[in-house]
Chain A
Amino acid sequence: MRRVYFDHSATTPVRPDVADEMCAFLKENFGNPTSLHYFGRQARKEVEAAREKVAAAIGATPNEIVFTSGGTESDNMAIHGVAMINKNKGNHIITSAVEHHAVINTVKALGKEGFTVTILPVDKYGMVSVDDVAAAITDKTILITIMHANNEVGTIMPIKEIGSLARSKGITMHTDAVQSFGKIPFSVEELGVDLLTISGHKIYGPKGVGALYIRKGTRWKQSLFHGGAQERLRRAGTENVPGIVGLGKAAELAIRDLQSEAEHLKALRDRLIHEVTTKIDYVKLTGHPTMRLPNHASFTFEFIEGESMLLSLDLKGVAASSGSACTSGSLEPSHVLLAMGIPHEIAHGSIRITLGRDNTMEDIDYFLEIMPPIVNRLRAMSPLDQETEFAINGSCDACKAHGSCKM
């Protein structure tokens, strides 16, 4: 069966060149970078080379890069570390309603520890307004954390404007750039952020490794990990040398190929969006029509549910994802789609297609060939149509009776 991978925002395959470089550090070059001897020195050399590559990829200096276990750890470390050391200055944190759970749940946890949290709304495209950020700032604000690009709907946030606003008010600014890194060009200088999160496995590097950029002079202190003095006291624990080497190589290649990749992906994405929204009825693009990641297309299909679309696609060899309740692991559809004002019943029918470097126009053609019959089959099975969709109301009583509905 033809297999098409359309879930690159979830994870990506490791590039062969990256895997090759990593292999040596699993076998002969196994030293602990902290060790003084030959083996340690060899590993140290490569960890520092990787740090230079990651720094160069985002326009930072190597000393400003800390290696972590991935995006989630970087987000936790960034937010917690700023909050704890600035307690005497203030207790207010600003974030948005569409952040990744690694950010939103970290901020919410701090909310239970005496911090005041403002969760900003977004517009129908999933975008935060700079005016809303400005209006939310108080003299107690110590941190603004807003993602660079959204994972579910691909919308690119006005981080440059928010960053310069934060700087003018003397507030520390963090952005989660896990989805944007390697896909759209940026530097930490241009964005004006103090902390920035990246992850290895979204850029054809390995899982289990990421980095946190911490601008020199930022009031931040490691507050979660206790242990050794690795990463200049910023992240305890023996370095994940193969992972770090892989991240360095993947970052280097991602930046080298960024422009040509973006052009290739945009051509595929634009055709996909155009054909899906014209060939299939009752479909809407979610996220911003132009300010979006080059590899990202996301839709809602009315009257049908996301998981049943994903299963049908998987039976045809196509891997995609959804923000429906059934796929989110909870009973609520995606918090991102709900924050954008999309009603529950429509959010249940969401599908996300995230393209990658190995996808071709033939993959898009294949999707366009199989998707309409899938939609038709499920719609024929559905008791909903344009007349009944909003007519059937209820308060989820059946689920509540079973005590498992979170509504």
Chain B
Amino acid sequence: MYTEKVMDHFENPRNVGEIENPDGVGQVGNPTCGDIMKIYLKVKDNVIEDVKFKTFGCGAAIATSSMVTEMVKGKSLDEALKISNKMVAEALGGLPPKKMHCSNLAADALQAAIQDYMDKQEKK
């Protein structure tokens, strides 16, 4: 039911963990729903220097979280802002239809983290 790429990211997720003193944090979902994704960013000169994630959820939730971190590491904020949930699913070779919604929120978590970073910059 899952592609090999999804299973690879589920089995060997990239960039799991937290960042101490992150520049931005984004979280979407809630435990009632069955999915929570939390993304931490370290930003330098408008480039995502480091990114980590923590996820509660099914295989697709974990794989999309891992994939989105891989897609944005080293990218500029402008490039990262263009990443959508659909692009993450495509990069994984697709997801089962019923997983396209609730479990495919990793890009939303990323965008929330970038927003958090920008909000903090404004306040400075």
Contact = CB atoms under 8 A, between A and B. Distances in A.
Contact of A324 (B2, B34, B38): B34
Pairs of residues from A and B, 5 with the lowest C-beta to C-beta distance, nearest first: A345-B31, A394-B30, A326-B58, A307-B58, A404-B101
Interface string B55-98: 11111111000000000000000000000000000000000001
B47 interface: no
A384 interface: yes
Interface string B103-118: 1010010000000000
Main secondary structure of the interface of A (DSSP, over half): loop
Interface in A279-329: 303-308, 311, 315, 324-326, 329
A308 B55 CA distance: 11
A326 B34 contact: yes
A26 B15 CA distance: 56
Interface in B32-52: 32-38
18 contacts: A307-B58, A315-B11, A329-B98, A344-B31, A345-B31, A348-B34, A381-B16, A381-B55, A384-B31, A392-B30, A392-B36, A398-B29, A398-B30, A399-B35, A402-B102, A404-B101, A405-B102, A407-B33
B32 A344 contact: yes
A240 to B, nearest CB: 30
A188 B72 CA distance: 64
Interface in B1-35: 2, 7, 10-11, 13, 16, 27-35
Given A308-B61, A405-B101, 14 more contacts: A311-B59, A326-B57, A331-B98, A345-B32, A381-B62, A382-B54, A394-B29, A396-B32, A396-B33, A398-B28, A398-B30, A398-B108, A399-B33, A402-B101
Contact of B32 (A303, A383, A407): A407
Nearest to B103: A326
Contacts of B60: 326
Contact of A308 (B29, B31, B58, B98): B58
Contacts of A344: 31-34
Contacts of B35: 305, 399
Contacts of A394: 29-30, 32-33
Contacts of A383: 27, 36-38, 54-56
B13 A305 contact: no
A307 B35 CA distance: 11
Contact of A304 (B2, B10, B56, B105): B56
Contacts of A306: 58
A315 B10 CA distance: 11
Contacts of B2: 311
A36 interface: no
A405 B33 CA distance: 8
B102 A404 contact: yes
